[in-house]
Amino acid sequence: MGITWQRVEELLTELDELHREYWRVLAKAYREQAEGRTKTMETYKGEAPKGRSGYQITAESYTEYLKQYPDAPKEVKEDMKRKIKANSFLAECDELTRLELFNSSAFNDVIKGYVCLCADSLGYTDEQRAELLGRLCRMLDEKTAKEAKDYYSDH
């Protein structure tokens, strides 16, 4: 005895409702940030108050949001908790340690995904896209994250 199509449709409807609620709550959080009701890096115009990093401020902002909205959907709470964990971790790292995260290749597929999105949005052909990805892969192997960041800063 398996799952019925009716149950599949019910689950899909439930998932769709959760997805809409997730984006509604997230939009509300962003609106509050824009209105200055929660403190993020944007509030400080890109500069953290002395002794506090942007990562700390962002983690605190998400923590405050969870306190203000204890009835937020489970998926939103889990997403916020992951953001708090990631930003709290990054707040403890110095710049070279953060760059080392990129050197670990943990984000290579994400970087490639962004490059593909950009190439597609610019109308690159499959051949151009493949060439761009090939060069990206070579750069990821040959250059360190610090070298890439420095190159970006200088150009």
| Per-residue pLDDT reduced to its tens digit, 63-116 | 988 888 888 888 888 998 999 999 999 999 999 999 999 899 999 999 999 999
Predicted pLDDT of residue 86: 94
d(CA 43, CA 34): 8
Per-residue tokens: 133? 């990805």
Domain ranges of the chain: 1-92, 95-155
Whether residue 44 is predicted with pLDDT greater than 50 in this model: the reply is: no
Query: What contacts 151, CB < 8 A, 6 or more positions away?
Result: 143
Query: What contacts 72, CB < 8 A, 6 or more positions away?
Result: 25, 66, 80
51-60, 102-111, 122-131, 133-142: range with lowest mean pLDDT = 51-60
